[in-house]
């Protein structure tokens, strides 16, 4: 009964989205205000149906209704409630339903927020959104249906993959990822509509940028959460392995970041329109590629869902929208007017262009590395691997170059700069570069690329902080009080600017932390019996014994360690105990092999990380990993997210009214200015 209800809702959503898409495109073609109204209604209806179908599924999961095929697949009476709720996205079919759910919410939100604006474009935009919606409805209704009826419902199910139950981050990472991924559909709609209309004006830019910024924030945090989860849960002490599915999440982030920068130039100078539109389209196309990579079974990855027949379907959709987007782009790109000229490479616009190039190169390199083994196998029939060593070699120079641009670009003025101006802007931050590099060297950094990164980072930090606080400093010099100056300049009027520089500050910290944590890491395997201790990197680890914890769905064996600094307990150095760590080995009832969970102690300086390799009676083998500055990465990314939110908060009414007055009017109302 529940399964049938779910199936009906999904079929209805397929019907509604396809009809709405056709309606939207027709309304755009005919410039019909009535058609637009109806397209909007269909958009809301699609959203409602997707939300309802998702609620039906969650209801079935929580009530353990094993007559629904997806519940029989991932449900279990033994797991905690939060695990049941998040098992909605733990397996393939449910995850596509979740995609539809998020897409519905985005489409409804975007349709509502643009209800009085851009009537010229919105019909095409909604048509595009619903076209994408119809594809996912089709998947949920057909090849990936979670709502099949199980003829003889089992009494209990196996529960979701135990790896996904190990940590609470499992509940947060996928929703953030989907909010980021799926959200790229919205700016794609705006960009496609702009191309169809053949015009990309300033008034249209604002919703596209906002539509790009929101998913960007989610995706940035999602990628960080994925890395943090890998670090805290998997036990190898790293946070990024260049796994194909990890790369799939990174690719659209790279093009979206480039698009945001490109859009900035478009707003200030009216140029780079073609670049911006292409990057926005690429961001969406890469999410579809990403979903193919994760779900097709083509790629060997720790993240892959089990192989399924859904791959060819997604590939066909990808091919179709690729060809459509390329054709549309080729037809219209020359007609997107550009009203400014480039003043040469040593200018802010020039650096934005170089920025675009570097991000595209980054994207291209990651993509090539990920699909290359497939290419070789197709052409030569031989298997080869492209793994972490390749990506690390390629990405480090690109990352350093990006950090360089992050420092030099904002220091340069817009337009052609005289030699004098360039000198005044570019020389002072060298002090910052020198300071940070020297501090790094003093603290033991010797790897050349890391020192270079520190120097670039110091430079960028000084430029970023300088630019960020420039308005406040100028007001204080004039005589304003500091407090009100800060609040007014940064939070009331200059949010986009302040938010943007906050993001840059976070990015500098992230890049520097990644460089330091990768090259200054210490790792050692240690084998201890109860009472024994070992010293690694200035810390003494005392193994005090194991204990067992029993839970309904798993049995955990903990290995207890006391950690001292400056010598062992009661030893000649008189060490002080700094913490207690207890890495675990979990035996899940549903899995044959035990799964380890590491334990981590985080400080400002770095992390102490313990992960069990094996336990035999009273002896334990652990991996001791000391990683400096790794905790900075997570918090710096959150800083980036905060900057994004600040930048996103809408501006004053004056700005919005001005945008509205520039909107062309549709036939059927009255003939207005274009």
Partner 1 sequence: MNRVVLIAGILITVALVAILSAGLGKDPQHIDSPLIGKQAPDFALKAVGTGETIDLTQFRGKPLVVNFWATWCRPCYEEHPVLVSNAQMMQGQVQFLGVVFQDKEEKIQQFLNERGTAYPTLVDQAGKTAIAYGVGGVPETFFLNKDGRIVDKFVGPIDSESLQTNIRKAMTQ
Partner 2 sequence: MKRLILLLMLATSLVAQEVKIPDAEQFVGKPQGQPVSGALLDQRTNETGGLLRCPVCQGMSIADSPSEMAVNMKHQVRELIARGYTQEQILRYFERSYGQFVLLKPKFQGVNTLVWILPIIALAVGAFAIFSMMGKSGSQPVDEPPVATAEEDPYLAEVRKLTGRQS
- Helix (H/G/I), strand (E/B), else coil: 566: coil
Q: Residue 378 interacts with partner 1 (CB under 8 A)?
A: yes
Q: From 328-336, 458-466, 563-571, 629-637, give the range in contact with partner 1 by CB under 8 A.
A: 328-336
Beta pairing, strands 576-581 & 584-588: unpaired
Nearer Cβ to partner 1, position 245 or 528? 245
Nearer Cβ to partner 2, position 309 or 418? 418
For 441, the token pair is 């060297």
For 348, the token pair is 């802010």
Binding partner at 347 among partner 2, partner 1, none, C-beta below 5 to 8 Å by kind? partner 2
- Answer for which of 15, 26, 315, 401 binds partner 1 (CB under 8 A) is 315
Nearer Cβ to partner 2, position 41 or 303? 303
Contacts within 8 Å (CB) and 24+ apart, 518-521: 518/392, 519/445, 519/447, 519/449, 519/450, 520/444, 520/445, 520/450, 520/627, 520/628, 520/629, 521/237, 521/625, 521/626, 521/627, 521/628
Nearer Cβ to partner 1, position 105 or 367? 367
Binding partner at 556 among partner 2, partner 1, none, C-beta below 5 to 8 Å by kind? none
Nearer Cβ to partner 1, position 333 or 590? 333
Q: How far is the CB of 540 from partner 2 (least distance, A)?
A: 17
Q: From 307-315, 434-442, 458-466, 507-515, give the range in contact with partner 1 by CB under 8 A.
A: 307-315
Q: How far is the CB of 104 from partner 1 (least distance, A)?
A: 28
Whole-number Å distance between alpha carbons of 21 and 11:
15
Nearer Cβ to partner 1, position 372 or 469? 372
Whole-number Å distance between alpha carbons of 254 and 504:
15
For 61, the token pair is 């999961």
Nearer Cβ to partner 1, position 205 or 288? 288
Which residue reads 């919703």 in tokens? Answer: 207
Q: Residue 8 interacts with partner 1 (CB under 8 A)?
A: no
Q: Residue 617 interacts with partner 1 (CB under 8 A)?
A: no
For 502, the token pair is 């906050």
Binding partner at 394 among partner 2, partner 1, none, C-beta below 5 to 8 Å by kind? partner 2
Q: Residue 371 interacts with partner 1 (CB under 8 A)?
A: yes
Compute φ and ψ for 412, nearest 5 degrees. Answer: -80, 145
Q: How far is the CB of 315 from partner 1 (least distance, A)?
A: 6
* DSSP codes, 537-563: TTEEEEEEEEEEEEETTEEEEEEEEEE
Nearer Cβ to partner 2, position 472 or 515? 472
Nearer Cβ to partner 2, position 158 or 350? 350
Whole-number Å distance between alpha carbons of 185 and 198:
20
Taken in order 113, 117, 118, 123, the sign of the CA dihedral is positive
Q: Residue 300 interacts with partner 1 (CB under 8 A)?
A: yes
Nearer Cβ to partner 2, position 58 or 488? 488
Binding partner at 334 among partner 2, partner 1, none, C-beta below 5 to 8 Å by kind? partner 1
Whole-number Å distance between alpha carbons of 324 and 327:
5
Binding partner at 649 among partner 1, partner 2, none, C-beta below 5 to 8 Å by kind? none
Q: From 91-99, 320-328, 452-460, 610-618, give the range in contact with partner 1 by CB under 8 A.
A: 320-328
Nearer Cβ to partner 1, position 383 or 661? 383
Q: How far is CA 669 from CA 119, 120, 664, in A?
A: 11, 12, 11
Q: Residue 61 interacts with partner 1 (CB under 8 A)?
A: no
Q: How far is the CB of 162 from partner 2 (least distance, A)?
A: 15
Contact residues for partner 2, defined by CB under 8 A:
235-238, 241, 243-244, 268, 300-302, 304, 341-345, 347, 350, 353-354, 357, 360-361, 364-365, 368-369, 372, 376, 379-380, 382-390, 393-394, 413-418, 421, 470-471, 474-475, 477-478, 489, 493-494, 497, 523-525, 596, 611, 613
Q: Which helix (H) or strand (E) holds 75?
A: none
Whole-number Å distance between alpha carbons of 48 and 104:
7
Write out the binding residues for partner 1, residues 194-223 only, by CB under 8 A. Answer: none
Whole-number Å distance between alpha carbons of 614 and 555:
15
Q: How far is the CB of 200 from partner 1 (least distance, A)?
A: 15
Whole-number Å distance between alpha carbons of 127 and 131:
6
75, 78, 84, 100: which is closest to 171 by C-alpha?
84
Binding partner at 326 among partner 2, partner 1, none, C-beta below 5 to 8 Å by kind? partner 1
Tally Cβ neighbours within 10 Å of residue 667: 11
- Helix (H/G/I), strand (E/B), else coil: 375: helix
**Residue count (the chain):** 674
Q: Is 589 exposed, middle or buried (CB count within 10 Å of its CB: 0-12, 13-18, 19+)? A: middle
Pseudo-torsion of CA 587, 588, 591, 596, nearest 10°?
Answer: -50
Write out the binding residues for partner 1, residues 427-456 only, by CB under 8 A. Answer: none
Write out the residues near partner 1 by the rule CB under 8 A.
289, 292, 296-300, 304, 307, 311-312, 315, 318-319, 322-323, 325-327, 329-331, 333-334, 371, 374-375, 377-378, 382-383, 592
């Amino acid at each position: 009964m529940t399964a049938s209800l779910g199936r009906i809702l999904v079929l209805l959503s397929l019907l509604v989205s396809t009809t709405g898409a056709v309606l939207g495109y027709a309304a755009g073609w005919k410039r019909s205000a009535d058609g637009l109204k109806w397209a909007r209604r269909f958009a809301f209806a699609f959203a409602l149906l997707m939300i309802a179908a998702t609620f039906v599924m969650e209801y079935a999961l929580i009530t353990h209704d094993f007559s629904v095929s997806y519940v029989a697949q991932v449900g279990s009476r033994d797991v905690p409630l939060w695990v049941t709720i998040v098992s909605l996205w733990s397996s393939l079919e449910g995850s596509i339903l979740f995609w539809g759910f998020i897409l519905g919410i985005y489409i409804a939100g975007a349709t509502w927020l643009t209800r009085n604006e851009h009537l010229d474009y919105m019909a095409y935009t909604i048509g595009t959104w619903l076209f994408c919606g119809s594809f996912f409805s089709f998947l949920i209704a057909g090849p990936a249906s979670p709502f099949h009826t199980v003829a003889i419902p089992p009494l209990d199910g196996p529960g979701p993959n135990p790896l996904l139950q190990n940590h609470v981050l499992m509940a947060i990472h996928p929703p953030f990822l989907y909010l980021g991924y799926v959200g790229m559909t919205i700016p794609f709609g705006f960009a496609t509509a702009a191309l169809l209309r053949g015009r990309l004006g300033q008034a249209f830019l604002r919703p596209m940028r906002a539509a790009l910024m929101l998913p960007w924030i989610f995706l940035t945090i999602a990628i960080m959460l994925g890395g943090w989860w890998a670090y805290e849960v998997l036990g190898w002490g790293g946070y990024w392995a260049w796994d194909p599915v990890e790369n799939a999440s990174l690719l659209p982030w790279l093009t979206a970041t480039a698009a945001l920068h490109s859009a900035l130039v478009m707003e200030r100078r009216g140029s780079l329109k073609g670049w911006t539109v292409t990057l926005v389209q690429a961001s969406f196309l890469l999410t579809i590629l990403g979903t193919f990579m994760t779900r097709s079974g083509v790629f060997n990855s720790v993240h892959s869902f089990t192989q399924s027949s859904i791959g060819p379907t997604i590939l066909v959709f990808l091919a179709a929208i690729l060809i459509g987007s390329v054709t549309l782009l080729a037809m219209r790109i020359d007609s997107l007017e550009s009203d400014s000229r480039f003043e040469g490479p040593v200018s802010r616009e020039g650096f934005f262009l170089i920025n675009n190039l570097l991000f595209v190169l980054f994207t291209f390199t990651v993509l090539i590395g990920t699909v290359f083994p497939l290419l070789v196998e197709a052409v030569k029939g031989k298997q080869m691997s492209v793994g972490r060593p390749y990506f690390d070699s390629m990405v480090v120079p690109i990352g350093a170059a990006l950090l360089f641009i992050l420092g030099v670009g904002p220091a340069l003025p817009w337009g052609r700069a005289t030699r004098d101006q360039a000198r005044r802007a570019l020389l002072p931050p060298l002090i910052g570069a020198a300071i940070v590099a020297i501090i790094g060297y003093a603290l033991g950094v010797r790897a050349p690329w890391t020192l270079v990164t520190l120097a670039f980072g110091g430079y960028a930090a000084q430029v970023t902080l300088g630019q960020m606080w420039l308005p406040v400093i100028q007001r204080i010099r004039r005589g304003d009080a500091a407090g009100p100056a800060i609040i007014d300049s940064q939070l009331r009027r200059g949010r986009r600017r302040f938010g943007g520089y906050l993001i840059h500050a976070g990015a500098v910290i992230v890049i520097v932390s990644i460089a330091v944590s990768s090259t200054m890491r210490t790792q050692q395997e240690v084998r201890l019996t109860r009472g024994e201790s070992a010293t690694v990197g200035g810390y003494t680890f005392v193994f005090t014994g194991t204990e067992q914890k029993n839970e309904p769905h798993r049995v955990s064996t903990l290995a207890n360690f006391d950690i001292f600094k400056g010598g062992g307990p009661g030893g000649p150095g008189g060490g002080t105990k700094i913490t207690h760590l207890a890495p675990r080995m979990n035996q899940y009832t549903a899995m044959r092999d035990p799964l380890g969970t590491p334990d981590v102690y985080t400080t400002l300086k770095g992390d102490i990380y313990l992960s069990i390799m094996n336990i035999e009676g009273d002896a334990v083998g652990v991996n001791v990993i000391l990683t400096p500055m790794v905790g900075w990465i997570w918090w710096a990314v959150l800083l980036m997210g905060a900057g994004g939110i600040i930048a996103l908060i809408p501006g004053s009414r004056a700005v919005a009214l001005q945008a509205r007055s520039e909107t062309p009017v549709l036939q059927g109302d009255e003939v207005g200015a274009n």
